């Protein structure tokens, strides 16, 4: 048997609807680690937004920003920032159309406005505060992802105007903006290549639209019971919901844990 690796989404997969880690999930992750399985986070969040989860689960590997930044055992193995010229055009376009942005770097994030209700709502769903305003933030360090705030129908405007960028909705009032080749699947591919792992030893668990490519890419893709329909359709199988110990139940079914 080869080296197995398990990729775990955070929101709705590791974290339940109260943003807590169920005890069964903690026990399952520990059992995986004890048996030599590599456990990696695969999330749309920026690294600074899940350090507490890494610590609580003793995980040192992750794919963040929906695949733009990959770390194995504490070492960066892949990074794919958005080009500054693209960020400049996106910023100008968002100002013209009156849509706020949040720029995300590895260590922090900044917004183009202060106290915006849609940013409050989106960030609040992640138990985060509204970021401070800094309209020049993207000029001073690599930006791996931008959060665009607006209604789903307004997203279409941006998709037509920015063919080199990719827009994936994560919230009723917000979508992730990343490079065109950006996806959790792309980050996983770089991770697998760097570690020379066989594809048949890859597993992923997720629930949202940004998990679609990841669930399809790995050998065994598991959709949580609370997943959107598209993810359920792409999955190898659908487990129970995050609040019904779906993660640990699926790992048992796959004989990854006892």
Evaluated on CA atoms 246, 247, 248, 254, the torsion sign reads positive
On whether residue 186 sits in a domain, the answer given is yes
Question: Does 165 share its domain with 52?
Answer: no
% of the chain residues with pLDDT over 90: 97
Question: Does 12 share its domain with 49?
Answer: yes
Question: Does 11 share its domain with 56?
Answer: yes
Residue pair 185/192 in contact (Cβ under 8 Å)? The answer is no
Q: How far is CA 236 from CA 126, 220, 239, 247, in A?
A: 28, 6, 10, 14
C-alpha span between 60 and 51 (Å, rounded):
10
Flag whether pLDDT at 150 surpasses 80: yes
CATH number of the domain to which 101 belongs: 3.30.1240.10
Respond yes or no: is residue 9 known to be catalytic: yes
pLDDT given at position 118: 98
- Domain housing 105: 84-179
Q: Which token pair is 10?
A: 């955070």
How many domains, in total, are found in the chain?
2
C-alpha span between 184 and 43 (Å, rounded):
7
pLDDT in tens, 1-49: 799 999 999 999 999 999 999 999 999 999 999 999 999 999 999 999 9
Which of 9, 176, 201, 207 is flagged as catalytic?
Answer: 9
């Amino acid at each position: 048997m080869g080296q197995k690796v398990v990729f775990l989404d955070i929101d709705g997969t590791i974290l339940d609807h109260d943003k807590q880690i169920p005890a069964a999930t903690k026990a399952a992750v520990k059992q995986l680690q004890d048996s030599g399985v590599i456990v990696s986070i695969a999330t749309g969040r920026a690294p600074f937004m899940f350090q507490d989860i890494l610590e609580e689960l003793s995980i040192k590997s992750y794919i963040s920003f929906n695949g733009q930044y990959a770390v194995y055992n504490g070492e960066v193995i892949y990074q794919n920032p958005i080009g500054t010229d693209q960020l400049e055009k996106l910023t100008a376009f968002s100002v013209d159309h009156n849509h706020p942005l949040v720029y995300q770097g590895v260590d922090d994030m900044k917004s183009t406005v202060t106290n915006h209700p849609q940013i409050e709502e989106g960030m609040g769903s992640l138990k985060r505060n509204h970021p401070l305003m800094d309209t020049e933030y993207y000029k001073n360090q690599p930006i791996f992802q931008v959060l665009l705030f607006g209604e789903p129908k307004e997203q279409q405007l941006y998709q037509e105007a920015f063919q080199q960028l990719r827009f994936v909705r994560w919230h009723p009032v917000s979508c992730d903006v990343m490079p065109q080749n950006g996806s959790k699947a792309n980050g996983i591919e770089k991770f697998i290549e760097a570690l020379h792992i066989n594809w048949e030893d890859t597993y992923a668990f997720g629930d949202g639209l940004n998990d679609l490519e990841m669930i399809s890419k790995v050998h065994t893709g598991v959709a949580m019971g609370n997943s959107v329909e598209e993810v359920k359709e792409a999955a190898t199988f659908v487990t129970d919901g995050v609040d019904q110990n779906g993660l640990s139940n699926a790992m048992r079914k796959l004989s990854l844990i006892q």
